Amino acid sequence: MEEKEFDYINVIPLVDIMLVLLTIVLITATFIVEGTIPIKLPTSIYGDTKNIKGIQITINKNEEIFFEGRKVDLNILDQIVKNINKDSQISIFADKSSKVQSLVSVLDILKKNEFKKVFIKTELIK
């Protein structure tokens, strides 16, 4: 049996495979994106340095309220916190340029529902 001379490489299957791999990477990359709510925390000299865990309520500079990363209004927030254990820790991340009224409204809802472990997250000045 005679060996054929190797004149060229057929790159079409290679291109097909690369396009499939590129498609898979682009599709899975959209599921990996992790969104965060951009806020600038107020600063404090005597703030607590421990890492606060628990439920997160965020207020951004446009006074939009987010419960665990999901945008809600005050009525929906009130309905959500009614179903939460009263001993849960709640951390409030309020942007320093947001109005105080937004923070007070959230605190009123938490007070009405008798939460005791509520923390306002600040950035510690060193």
For 43-124, CATH gives 3.30.420
Give 67-87 pLDDT, tens digit per residue.
988 899 999 999 999 989 888
Q: What is residue 1's predicted lDDT score, i.e. its pLDDT?
A: 63
Q: What is residue 43's predicted lDDT score, i.e. its pLDDT?
A: 81
User: At 7, is the pLDDT very low, low, confident or very high (cuts 50, 70, 90)?
Assistant: confident
Average pLDDT of the residues in 54-65: 90
Average pLDDT of the residues in 27-37: 68
With 0-12 CB in 10 A as exposed, 13-18 as middle and 19+ as buried, what is 118?
middle
Q: Tell me the whole-structure pTM to 2 decimals.
A: 0.65
Most confidently predicted of 7-11, 22-26, 35-39, 107-111: 107-111
Q: What is residue 78's predicted lDDT score, i.e. its pLDDT?
A: 92
Distances (CA, A) of 84 to 23, 89, 97, 105, 123: 42, 10, 29, 18, 27
